[in-house]
Amino acid sequence: MTWSRTLVYATLCTRFLSQANANYIWPDPKIDELEKLLYEQENPFDGPGSLASFVDGCSGPAERALGIGRSFGAEWIRNAYHDMSTADVSAGTGGLDASIVFEMDRLENIGDAFQETLNIFKGNYNNRVSMSDLFALATVMAVGGCSGGKVIVPLKGGRVDAAGPGPSGVPEPQQDLQTHTASFAKQGFDTSEMIALVACGHTVGGVHGVDFPKIVPNPAPTDGAKNDNTVTFDTTTDSFDNIVAKEFIGNVSQNPLAFGQNETTRSDFRIFNADGGDMISQMATSNDFFLDTCNTMFERMINTVPSNVKLVDIKPQENLTGVIRIVDEIINGPGTRIFVHLKSRSGDPMLVAEATTSRGQTGGCSYPNCGPSFTYYTFDPKIPTKHGISSFTVEVADSQTGRNESHDNGGAGFPLQSSITIDGINQMQLNLTAAVLYAESFTDVFLIVPQPSNKSAPISPWTREEISMQSLGKVDGTNYTLYTGVWQSSGPTSAATTHPFDIVAVGSEKTVSSLFNSWDGIPRV
């Protein structure tokens, strides 16, 4: 039996973990998917067009090609702030909870930023990654991309999505300083922090005349082409830097919220002067101070969540899949060899498989300083079908020192669920055959497909659609029994409809499972 990438997946903990994550044991469904999205922005398996590619150069290549003054980087930051900004930290309510997806019809949320951000990220939304975690990830990627890796906002996971709209109250340009100060205080920011957060948010992007004609002139295009008539906040709109502050202090700012045609909507002018100009002057004087301050402010912004939500650190791990993801720092030269030591369920000795790599089998982040770079090694052991693999360890043979270093997942080995293997998918129908090892130990085998309870809503609590699988009989000469089951999509189809599925075999003494199986990874029939 050849173990494919679909059927073998584990994670290897390395020296790159912080002390808080030193005891990380794979798997951890609370963070594994989010960790992959953050640190495997570029990899040889998912093809071009990672999430981070949308903010390449800050505005993103697609938006630059349109030539209408839009910026994905600015949109993602604006989306997160508007979602968070109705928090009441003293009451422990609101914050970054994706309630914005239910609030796009409000005048305080005018513009395409919110729907576009949702559209881009909804393909990665599932019951292991909440939409609010994706909105936090969007902020991290936007700031990292726009700053060229100079600002890396730490990411935590575990946010819980709202089931409906939250209260209104996003700050608006026409409001007075007293109203803004009170609103930011409710969010947990004092006057200096309010100034800093606004400056950090307005170092990229601008005001679109198509959305705010009372702030920015919005003449009709003469050639019939779409034009947002955008006036940017500063002259380096695609660079995350302190120019927005320097130009304000130098009284040469083009910021329409500071020196625009409508005095009523000069909210940045009022906010930047709220402390007599002290904070904005500090931010203008030192770009390092500006970047460090923005890092702190954005981390606080995306970590503002309801008091009953507990966030979990996301740190770069190493992954092993049938393709082994190894941090480049521990690969000491091209002669380094990687060995996978397999352990059988029967206790019989197994061969050691050497993993190999080829040119181009690398991955990592799209912008500097996000995290480590990786090299991918493949291993393809031929396992007799009478065996099942319970776990494995990895040995790294250093080409320079001659030393061998073993990685064993905290002593437990990296678990493999070879008890269940899967085949068969057809359009919007799962028509699966699963091979269950030692099926006589189990009373029931289930196909479980998590689905949004409200498929017409932009996000929804998840429910489990459970199908009992039927035995087709034992495979001759093996310890596997084949089971079949069919799940048919009902209602509108979407990325959420084809959410990764589980197969679970339940017995009186144990339960085994094959979890979070991707539709893309299953052979089509």
Q: Strand pairing of 323-327 and 480-488?
A: unpaired
Mean pLDDT value across residues 460-464: 89
pLDDT score, position 1: 25
- The CATH number assigned to the domain with range 31-303 reads 1.10.520.10
Among 339-353, 394-408, 470-484, where is mean pLDDT lowest? 339-353
pLDDT band of 318, cuts 50, 70, 90: very low
Question: pTM for the full model?
Answer: 0.81
DSSP structure class, residue 189: -
Query: CA dist 403 to 280, 354, 355, Å?
Result: 54, 16, 17
Mean pLDDT value across residues 432-446: 88
Does 248 have pLDDT greater than 90? Answer: yes
The identity of residue 203, as a single letter, is T
b (16+ CB within 10 A) / e for 369-400: ebbbebbbbbbebebeeebbbbbbbbbbbbee
pLDDT score, position 421: 59
DSSP structure class, residue 265: G
Map out the domains of the chain as residue ranges. 31-303, 319-415, 420-516
Q: H or E element: which one contains 124?
A: none
* Coil, strand or helix at 481: strand
As to burial, measured by CB atoms within 10 angstroms (0-12 exposed, 13-18 middle, 19+ buried), residue 313 is middle
pLDDT score, position 172: 97
The identity of residue 367, as a single letter, is Y
* C-beta separation of 379 from 324 below 8 A: yes
Percent of the chain's residues with pLDDT above 90: 49
* C-beta separation of 237 from 71 below 8 A: yes
Rg (CA), the chain: 26
pLDDT in tens, 320-339: 456 778 888 888 777 888 88
pLDDT band of 424, cuts 50, 70, 90: low
As to burial, measured by CB atoms within 10 angstroms (0-12 exposed, 13-18 middle, 19+ buried), residue 297 is buried
Strand partners, 414: 392
Mean pLDDT computed over every residue of the chain:
84
pLDDT score, position 406: 85
pLDDT in tens, 444-453: 999 998 888 8
Within 10 angstroms of residue 269's Cβ, the number of other Cβ atoms is 18
* C-beta separation of 146 from 204 below 8 A: yes
Among 128-142, 291-305, 374-388, where is mean pLDDT lowest? 374-388
pLDDT score, position 384: 56
b (16+ CB within 10 A) / e for 47-68: eeebbbbbbbbbbbeebbeeeb
Q: Which of 423, 415, 435, 440 is nearest to 345 (CA)?
A: 415
pLDDT score, position 134: 97
pLDDT in tens, 167-224: 999 999 999 999 999 999 999 999 999 999 999 999 999 999 999 999 998 887 766 6
The identity of residue 47, as a single letter, is G
- The CATH number assigned to the domain with range 319-415 reads 2.60.40
Q: Which of 183, 193, 192, 186 is nearest to 92 (CA)?
A: 186
pLDDT score, position 272: 98
Assign a CATH topology to domain 420-516.
Immunoglobulin-like (2.60.40)
Query: 420-516: same fold as 319-415?
Result: yes
pLDDT in tens, 514-525: 888 777 656 554
Strand partners, 192: none
Strand partners, 502: 448
Within 10 angstroms of residue 69's Cβ, the number of other Cβ atoms is 21
First-to-last C-alpha distance (Å) of the chain: 20
pLDDT score, position 331: 82
Percent of the chain's residues with pLDDT above 70: 82
pLDDT score, position 65: 63
Does 17 have pLDDT greater than 50? Answer: no
Higher-scoring residue by pLDDT: 484, 263: 263
- Strand extents, DSSP E, 306-425: 312-313, 318-320, 323-327, 337-344, 352-355, 362-363, 374-378, 389-397, 404-407, 414-415, 420-423
pLDDT in tens, 112-148: 999 999 999 998 998 889 999 999 999 999 999 999 9
Q: Which of 299, 90, 82, 307 is nearest to 185 (CA)?
A: 90
pLDDT score, position 434: 82
* C-beta separation of 231 from 262 below 8 A: no
Q: What is the 3-state secondary structure (H, E, C) of 35-79?
A: HHHHHCCECCCCCCCCHHHHHCCCCCHHHHHHCCCCCHHHHHHHH
DSSP per-residue letters across 125-152: -BTTB-HHHHHHHHHHHHHHHHTTTS--
Q: Strand pairing of 420-423 and 429-437?
A: antiparallel
**Residue 28 to residue 12: CA distance in whole angstroms:** 12
pLDDT band of 254, cuts 50, 70, 90: very high
